[in-house]
């Protein structure tokens, strides 16, 4: 039977390799069905190991690997419901697949080694305890294929499967064996380099466990450094040849990782390594320039990448990583104070900043790739980006020195190539300007402080001259961009010259056009709007002209620039409104699913609909297309973004809202919400209805289709969103919708208000997601502001599943109070809680909620331990919990650099890095908030200074009878915060 299966499989595998599409497709289906049988795994392995054709063996190995992924174990990430091989089959495979490590065909060996890694990930050590011993036997054999195969498995093994628990039994055996392979010239460099790579993974493991197991430093790291650093240093110091490159790269990568992860422990080795790497870097500079920069496009032969991924670029990356590392270490301070060293380093960086021949060719054929890299959004890390990062890192540590030496080096480089004798002269100039532009902010600061750097001479001399070098669009365009970066400190005459050049550039080569738009974007962002106003009409015309044929990244860049330019002059914007509208619709329809494009389109829509000169015209031009886009037959992504844009038009429209929004948009949106289950459509639909109710509730009240009235349909939508089977994500804005309806409908809602609030309460009882709980809780918070006693009576009199409505509400609120998001929503919640406490209602004290976390152990708790022993809390009365939460909120407010910054940062700077710090909020922050939600303007809660409000509340609370009783539940640090609040 085994022979028969093998023969059947061989026949099917052969047909899978057929050039005939029908034969191949049918065979692939047969192979998939056969592979699901456990015995077939054995046949696939035998075929992979035996002397069949390469195609059959390779396909068998691939099929086996895939089958292991989906059917070896239920714990596999890709497991598909189906039969799992029995233990006998598994044991046979594990025993025989190790033979694959000795196969002489590298592709087959690599596939089988990868399959071993997958099995090991699932079975080692419990179901495969002998694996490590077998791998070590292969590693110590004299067979080069066996050693290479074992190293591949061990690389995955150490990186993915070895924990701190296995470390003591694995490291003492494996580390010396790897060291022996690395030092043995019998093995080729790629094999020895792979051994070093595994040591690098060991370093990662030590770093990850050092906090929990500090003894690993003395037991494992220090011996590893003594054993390995001398040899690694030797490899780094060897000349960079094709043979030595793998060893040099992996050695330097490992050394840099050791230095970065263990700077103190490795300090005694750093000086010698730095000297070696510095000498290498000087040599690399020349090699890199000759190999990558100097060739012309005609001379360029595309570099064939090493199959193992070892390229000269990687050596440059690691060398620059080391430079960045030492720039942050105090004991290398004297090195960066050495002018000769700094001049040489800056010269290296200018070389590595230069455009390679390969990039030049690629960018000319793919403008998207160029824009992405120039905006530092490239998917591929390049030497140019690494050099830029290194320059800016050194500026952070030695700002004035670095800026001075880079400026002087730049002048020298520009002078050396002023005669333009070498054909790559323009790349030197472009690299200098690129570096000066990327470091523009610190340069501008120093120039404003009246320090050195005479950029005026550059911009009226070499930069202006290079700007005219149209045969070199990357250089001439870079000059425009550089002028834009420094426009804030240049004279009006110089800036006007470059603005004029940028506007002329919009009709030139595609590369130059990109730079022209980037320059215009800089001018619009940095310049005083009064100075820019006279040329805004030309800027808008130029952008609109280029946008007609723009696609993808270039269109995105134009949209970005437009979003800034249209804010400078409302009249100029109104004059180009027709063209801008076409651009908005074109950009949106091209990529309705692209979040970044849609976000920019939304910004443009918001501003134009808010522009009083053109608002009505803009609405009328946008409306037909958007109405068509929300019809049932349209793709969901198009409908979702169209709903967003309609919402923006409704919110920002000046004057009376056109009736078409109620008569034509409202019924379509309601119908869509009642018949659709797409989260994004339901979310955006809720937002639109909320905006429409706010702007024109009267029209909704009057609307009817003969069967239902407008208010009835909104109630039906809300009822659907509050159903238990409806996902919480899809109903995330239902609270805002209900609140807005209550505020606007008033007495019209009286007949169904109690029923509506009871539905909210029922949904709150089963709600899980904090953001969904927030939206429901805030309905009652808003009501508490105006009808506190009525809300308390309603909640107390109604029950859900045997629980008091008041208990459901207060427990949900107390549990998620600290997680509330949104500047306005936090204020609504805090004020409501203060009002509730001030009421001194006895019913509040009868509700018990979670208090403080009870610490069960001081030891580190694993996830499995935590699952068996969940957190426990003290149980305290709600008023005591409320006071604790308000004290915590006061502390949050006090620690903010501005009142309410905590929520503003979340909302307004969501696209910024989480580590960014802001000394103050942007001047236009409130305008931006009101542009998104104009209904908040003038709201007393929004205008409230929460910090001072809480101080006044605490002072009023101290005179109430319950004050002493509640204070008993405060911890010492909470008492301290409260005392400090009362003292203000």
Whether the CB-CB separation of 900 and 893 falls below 8 Å is answered with yes
In whole angstroms, give the CA distance from residue 830 to residue 369. 49
DSSP 8-class letter at 302: P
Token look-up 């000087």 returns: 282
Q: Which of 187-191, 471-475, 896-900 has the lowest mean pLDDT?
A: 896-900
Q: Helices (H) and strands (E) in the chain — how many of each? A: 54, 4
**684 vs 55, 229, 622, 729, CA distance in Å?**
52, 59, 18, 12
pLDDT confidence bin for 37, thresholds 50/70/90: low
Q: What count of other Cβ atoms lies within 10 Å of the Cβ of residue 762? A: 18
Selected residue with higher pLDDT from 241 and 672: 672
DSSP 8-class letter at 303: P
**What would the mean pLDDT of 61-66 be, rounded to a whole number?**
94
Distance of CA 789 to the CA centre of its chain: 46
Whether the CB-CB separation of 766 and 800 falls below 8 Å is answered with no
Question: pTM for this structure?
Answer: 0.81
DSSP element (H, E) containing 800: strand 799-800
Selected residue with higher pLDDT from 397 and 587: 397
Residue 682 has pLDDT above 50, yes or no: yes
Selected residue with higher pLDDT from 915 and 967: 967
Phi, psi of 941 (to 5 degrees): -70, -40
**898 vs 175, 902, 903, CA distance in Å?**
54, 9, 11
DSSP element (H, E) containing 854: strand 848-854
Residue 862 has pLDDT above 50, yes or no: no
Cα angle for residues 430, 597, 923 (degrees, 5° grid): 80
Residue 899 has pLDDT above 60, yes or no: no
10 Å CB burial of residue 675 (0-12, 13-18, 19+) is: exposed
Phi, psi of 383 (to 5 degrees): -60, -40
Give residue 908's pLDDT.
40
In whole angstroms, give the CA distance from residue 780 to residue 739. 9
CA dihedral sign of residues 542, 546, 552, 553 = negative
Whether the CB-CB separation of 829 and 816 falls below 8 Å is answered with no
Give residue 505's pLDDT.
82
**What would the mean pLDDT of 884-908 be, rounded to a whole number?**
66
Token look-up 């050590």 returns: 125
CA dihedral sign of residues 222, 226, 228, 233 = positive
DSSP 8-class letter at 331: G
β-pair partners for 854: 872
Q: Could you check whether the bond before residue 125 is cis, i.e. omega within 30 degrees of 0?
A: yes
**What would the mean pLDDT of 885-910 be, rounded to a whole number?**
62
What percentage of the chain exceeds 70 in pLDDT?
92
Residue 709 has pLDDT above 50, yes or no: yes
Give residue 39's pLDDT.
67
Q: What count of other Cβ atoms lies within 10 Å of the Cβ of residue 729? A: 13
366 sits in the region (left: phi over 0; alpha: psi -120 to 50; else beta) called beta
10 Å CB burial of residue 505 (0-12, 13-18, 19+) is: buried
Residue 591 has pLDDT above 50, yes or no: yes
Phi, psi of 706 (to 5 degrees): 95, -25
**332 vs 270, 386, 694, CA distance in Å?**
10, 21, 63
β-pair partners for 848: 877
Q: Which of 187-201, 296-310, 487-501, 783-797 has the lowest mean pLDDT?
A: 296-310
Residue 298 has pLDDT above 90, yes or no: no
What percentage of the chain exceeds 90 in pLDDT?
66
Whether the CB-CB separation of 277 and 284 falls below 8 Å is answered with no
3-state secondary structure 231-278: HHHHHHHCCCCCCCHHHHHHHHHHHHHHHHHCCCCCHHHHHHHHHHHH
In whole angstroms, give the CA distance from residue 107 to residue 102. 12
pLDDT confidence bin for 301, thresholds 50/70/90: low
Average pLDDT, the chain: 88
pLDDT tens-digit map of 905-930: 444 433 333 333 333 334 443 444 44
β-pair partners for 873: 853
**785 vs 117, 743, 790, 930, 948, CA distance in Å?**
62, 12, 11, 22, 18
**What would the mean pLDDT of 500-512 be, rounded to a whole number?**
89
**What would the mean pLDDT of 744-755 be, rounded to a whole number?**
91
pLDDT confidence bin for 388, thresholds 50/70/90: very high
Angle between helices 167-182 and 189-209 in degrees, nearest 10:
150
**140 vs 21, 137, 174, 187, 454, CA distance in Å?**
47, 5, 10, 12, 65
In whole angstroms, give the CA distance from residue 601 to residue 596. 9
pLDDT confidence bin for 855, thresholds 50/70/90: low
Selected residue with higher pLDDT from 854 and 748: 748
3-state helix, strand, coil in the chain (%, to 5): 75, 0, 25
Give residue 306's pLDDT.
55
10 Å CB burial of residue 870 (0-12, 13-18, 19+) is: exposed
């Amino acid at each position: 039977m085994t022979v028969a299966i093998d023969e059947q499989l061989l026949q099917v595998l052969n047909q899978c390799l057929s050039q005939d599409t029908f034969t191949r497709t049918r065979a692939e289906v047969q192979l998939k069905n056969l592979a699901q049988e456990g015995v077939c795994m054995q046949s696939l392995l035998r075929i992979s190991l035996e002397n069949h054709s390469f195609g059959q063996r390779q396909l068998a190995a691939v099929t086996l690997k895939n089958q292991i992924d989906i059917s070896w174990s239920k714990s596999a990430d890709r497991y598909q419901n189906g039969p799992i091989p029995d233990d006998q089959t598994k044991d046979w495979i594990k025993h025989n697949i190790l033979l694959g490590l000795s196969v002489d065909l590298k592709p087959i060996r690599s596939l089988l080694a990868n399959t071993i890694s997958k099995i090991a990930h699932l079975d080692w050590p419990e179901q495969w305890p002998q694996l490590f011993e077998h791998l070590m036997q292969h590693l110590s054999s004299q067979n080069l294929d066996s050693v290479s195969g074992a190293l591949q498995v061990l690389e995955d093994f150490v990186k993915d499967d070895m924990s701190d628990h296995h470390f003591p039994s694995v490291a003492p055996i494996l580390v010396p064996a790897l060291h022996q392979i690395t030092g043995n010239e019998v093995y080729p460099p790629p094999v020895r380099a792979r051994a070093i790579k595994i040591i690098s993974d060991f370093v990662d493991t030590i770093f990850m466990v050092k906090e929990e197991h500090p003894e690993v430093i003395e037991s494992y790291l220090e011996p590893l450094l003594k054993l390995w650093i001398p040899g690694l240093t030797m490899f780094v110091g060897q000349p960079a040849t094709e043979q030595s490159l793998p060893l040099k790269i992996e050695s330097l990568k490992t050394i840099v990782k050791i230095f970065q992860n263990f700077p103190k422990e490795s300090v005694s080795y750093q000086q010698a390594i730095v000297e070696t790497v510095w000498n290498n870097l000087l040599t690399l500079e020349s090699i890199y320039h000759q190999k990558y920069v100097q060739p012309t496009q005609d001379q360029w032969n595309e570099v064939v990448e090493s199959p193992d991924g070892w390229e000269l670029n990687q050596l440059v990356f690691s060398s620059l990583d080391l430079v960045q590392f030492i720039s942050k270490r105090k004991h290398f301070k004297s090195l960066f104070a050495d002018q000769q060293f700094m001049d040489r380093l800056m010269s290296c960086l200018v070389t590595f900043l230069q455009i390679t021949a390969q990039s030049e060719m690629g960018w000319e054929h793919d403008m998207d790739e160029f824009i992405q890299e120039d905006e530092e959004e490239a998917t591929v890390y390049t030497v140019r980006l690494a050099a830029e990062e290194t320059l800016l890192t050194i500026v952070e540590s030695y700002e004035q020195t670095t800026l001075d030496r880079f400026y002087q080096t730049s002048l020298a480089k520009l002078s050396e190539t002023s005669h333009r004798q070498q054909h790559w002269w323009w790349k030197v100039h472009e690299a200098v300007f690129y570096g000066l532009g990327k470091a523009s902010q610190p340069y501008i600061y120093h120039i404003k402080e009246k320090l050195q750097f005479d950029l005026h001479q550059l911009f009226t001399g070499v930069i202006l001259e290079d700007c005219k070098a149209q045969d070199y669009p990357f250089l001439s365009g870079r000059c425009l961009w550089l002028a834009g970066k420094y426009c804030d400190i240049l004279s009006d005459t110089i800036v006007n010259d470059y603005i004029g050049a940028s506007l002329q550039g919009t009709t030139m080569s595609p590369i130059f056009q990109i730079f022209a738009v980037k320059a215009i974007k800089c001018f619009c962002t940095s310049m005083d709007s009064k100075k820019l106003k006279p040329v805004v009409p030309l800027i808008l015309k130029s952008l609109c002209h280029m946008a007609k044929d723009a696609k993808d990244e270039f269109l995105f860049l134009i949209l970005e620039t437009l979003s800034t330019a249209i804010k400078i002059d409302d009249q100029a914007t109104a004059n180009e409104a027709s063209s801008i509208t076409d651009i908005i619709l074109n950009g949106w329809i091209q990529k309705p699913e692209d979040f970044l494009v849609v976000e920019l389109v939304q910004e443009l829509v918001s501003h134009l609909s808010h522009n009083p000169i053109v608002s009505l015209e803009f609405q009328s031009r946008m409306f037909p297309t958007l109405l068509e886009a929300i019809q049932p037959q349209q793709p969901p992504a198009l409908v979702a973004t169209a709903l967003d844009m309609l919402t923006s038009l409704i919110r920002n429209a000046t004057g009376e809202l056109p009736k078409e929004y109620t008569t034509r948009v409202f019924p379509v949106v309601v119908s869509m919400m009642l018949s659709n289950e797409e989260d994004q459509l339901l979310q955006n639909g809720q937002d639109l209805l909320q905006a429409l109710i706010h702007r024109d509730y009267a029209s909704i009240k009057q609307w009817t289709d003969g069967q239902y009235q407008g208010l009835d349909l909104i109630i039906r939508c809300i009822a659907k969103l509050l159903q238990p089977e409806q996902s919480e994500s899809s109903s995330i804005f239902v609270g805002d919708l209900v609140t807005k309806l209550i505020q606007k409908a008033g007495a019209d809602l009286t007949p169904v208000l109690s029923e509506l609030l009871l539905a909210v309460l029922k949904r709150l009882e089963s709600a899980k997601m904090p953001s969904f709980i927030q939206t429901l809780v805030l309905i009652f918070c808003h009501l508490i502001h105006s009808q506190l006693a009525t809300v308390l009576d309603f909640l107390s009199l109604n029950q859900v599943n045997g629980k008091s409505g008041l208990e459901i509400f207060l427990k949900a609120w107390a549990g998620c109070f600290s997680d509330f998001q949104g500047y306005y929503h936090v204020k609504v919640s805090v004020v409501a809680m203060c009002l509730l406490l001030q009421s001194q209602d006895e019913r509040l004290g009868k509700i018990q909620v979670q208090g403080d976390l009870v610490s069960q152990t001081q030891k580190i708790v694993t996830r499995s331990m935590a699952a068996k022993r969940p957190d426990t809390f003290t149980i305290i009365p709600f008023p005591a919990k409320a006071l604790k939460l308000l004290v915590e909120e006061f502390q949050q407010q006090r620690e903010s650099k501005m009142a309410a910054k905590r929520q503003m940062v979340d909302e307004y700077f969501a696209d910024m890095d989480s580590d960014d710090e802001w000394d103050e909020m942007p001047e236009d922050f409130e305008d931006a908030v009101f542009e998104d939600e104009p209904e908040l303007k003038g709201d007393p809660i929004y205008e409230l200074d929460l910090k001072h409000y809480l101080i006044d509340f605490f002072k009023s609370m101290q005179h109430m009878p319950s004050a002493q009783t509640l204070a008993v539940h405060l911890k010492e640090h909470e008492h301290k915060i409260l005392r400090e609040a009362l003292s203000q």
